[in-house]
Amino acid sequence: MTIDLWYKDAFIYCVSVGSYLDTNADGIGDFRGLMRRLSYLQGLGVTCIWLMPFQPSPGRDDGYDIADYYNVDPRYGTLGDFVEFTNACEQHGLRVLIDLVVNHTSDQHPWFQAACKSKDSSYRDWYVWSKTKPKNAESGVVFPGVQESTWTLDKTSGEYFFHRFYDFQPDLNTANPAVQAEILKIMGFWMQLGVAGFRMDAVPFVISTKGAEIETPIEQYDMLRVFSQFLSWRKGDAIVLAEANVLPGDDLNYFGDVGERLQMMFNFAVNQRLFYALASCDSRPLQEALTETKPRPSSAQWSHFLRNHDELDLGRLTDEQRATVFEAFAPDPTMQLYGRGIRRRLVPMLHGDRRRIELAYSLMFSMPGTPVLRYGDEIGMGDNLALPERTCARTPMQWTDEVNGGFTDHPHPKNPVIGGGPYGYEHVNVAAQRRDPDALMNWMERMIRMRKETPEVGWGDFDILPSGRNEILILRYKWRNSTLLTIHNLAGDPIEINFRPDPNPEAEPKPLINLISDDHSHPGADANHCILLEPYGYRWFRPKDLGFLRHLSDF
């Protein structure tokens, strides 16, 4: 049987329905608005849309506190609108991933309400309880400075319930077979409505043992195999993209020996080291992360990103490395979050420097795996640090220079659109950049197209080539007799490098064709290539035969 590994060639675009486009003037985006922009996303080069939570929710955690897993929040539309959306995506050649948030529910969910009302309720064991407050209740909090404990008293039943996140998000007892069966039911429901897979939230917590007596949680990896088998049974090419910020090496437990557990994972190790590389101009820790996360089953795939809907988590860096990134990109404490991360969008972090922005995205696109782009980053949207916690980077999409950026006709949208200043909708919007061939959006479209034309990155194996300079990162990909070279200069100074694309001394020297510009490169007499990289410069090359180049009049 042939398995469709479509996610190896995908370009994923993360979007919040409520922040994209409002069609009924209530100040909140909706599915009808998102449908109106499918041609835009298709033209950008997107092949898969990842939707943040859109189910009914009190909205205390931007929808991650779900109160009904089988419906659409009325603010965004109806189930009928969702089905129309997935059908429209299929017509545009787009797949849909949705957030699967099953580590916890809202405290307003009927399951939890029933569990609180009676200890005899069938839903009581769907959550985790303790008669007394555990001694370690203050340890293991996910949001330091905001969250005080992982155990909270339910006054109705007189017992404490466990919550890894906020106190209004009680954890589900995922070890309970009835809860696991419900998770599969949820997955099957949305797949029946056209979903191609799920971005599973907080996977290490989902599969960990939970309870007052547990001091060191144990990951139940077989649970992932159950999920994967169900997906394969119901829809052969459905996937799970896991949010699992784990140490290199532990990821193999999540993928499985032969990829029988998870199909995709976010590569947090590379993400954090990449930002350290941008801040320090030192590629060595990034090279280490790439090497450490290189082993994986052939069907498994890493997903790479720069910024997402959460803070930029730097918790895996050393204290010194994290201080370096803070100093470069978030020197003001108001830009930092939870003592470990940065809550800004990428472009303000890089001070709007177009050279560094292009370098960062070129670097991300060249990482081994599948790229993920956050909505609005294609036009360089900014952040609103006056908004609390992570909300600052979740502002509405900026479409035009009209009032509220063309997002809504409502005078006061639920989440304010960024207006005024260098990142206001008056200056940063899709309409203006569509008319400017040199705008970031058009550069991004060209880069996405080029990335999709270089399958070596998604499918092939890679080596890190020596350059003699810590500021330089050279990756060589090989796949099906095809080779790709990507070179990045992390420094703000020009650097000349001499390197050999193929370390094999018997390999025939070949010219390198630049895939982005006409700046090709000939090998020297010593078979090395001498390339001058401008500050924050980058190159994407493919080796070609001399016979081919003789027919290029511009070389």
Annotated active-site positions, please?
201, 243
* DSSP-derived secondary structure letter, 169: S
The total of other beta-carbon atoms located within 10 Å of residue 177's CB is 7
Measured CA to CA, the distance from residue 430 to residue 220 in angstroms comes to 45
Could you tell me the two tokens for 455? Answer: 């399958």
The answer to whether 551 and 544 are in contact (CB under 8 A) is no
544 residue type, one letter: K
- Residue 12 and residue 249: Cα distance in Å, rounded? 25
User: Cα(106)–Cα(113) distance, rounded to whole angstroms?
Assistant: 10
C-alpha 148 chain-centroid distance: 28
Helix %, strand %, coil % for the chain, to 5?
Answer: 30, 15, 50
φ, ψ at 64 (rounded to 5°): -80, 0
Residue 246 to residue 266: CA distance in whole angstroms: 10
CA distances from 485 to 295, 476, 527, 540 (A): 20, 5, 16, 6
Report the amino acid identity of residue 118.
S
Strand 512-514's sheet: what is its strand order?
461-465, 472-479, 482-489, 538-543, 512-514
Strand order in 129-130's β-sheet?
129-130, 159-162, 151-154
Instruction: Please answer whether residues 232 and 266 qualify as being in contact, where contact means their C-beta atoms are separated by less than 8 angstroms.
Output: no
Decide if 55 contacts 61 (C-beta within 8 A).
no
- Tokens 């700046």, located at residue: 519
Distance CA 253, CA 220 (A): 10
In this structure, how many other beta carbons lie within 10 angstroms of the beta carbon of residue 164?
A: 23
CA distance 482 to 126: 52
C-alpha closest to that of 335 among 401, 390, 404, 254: 390
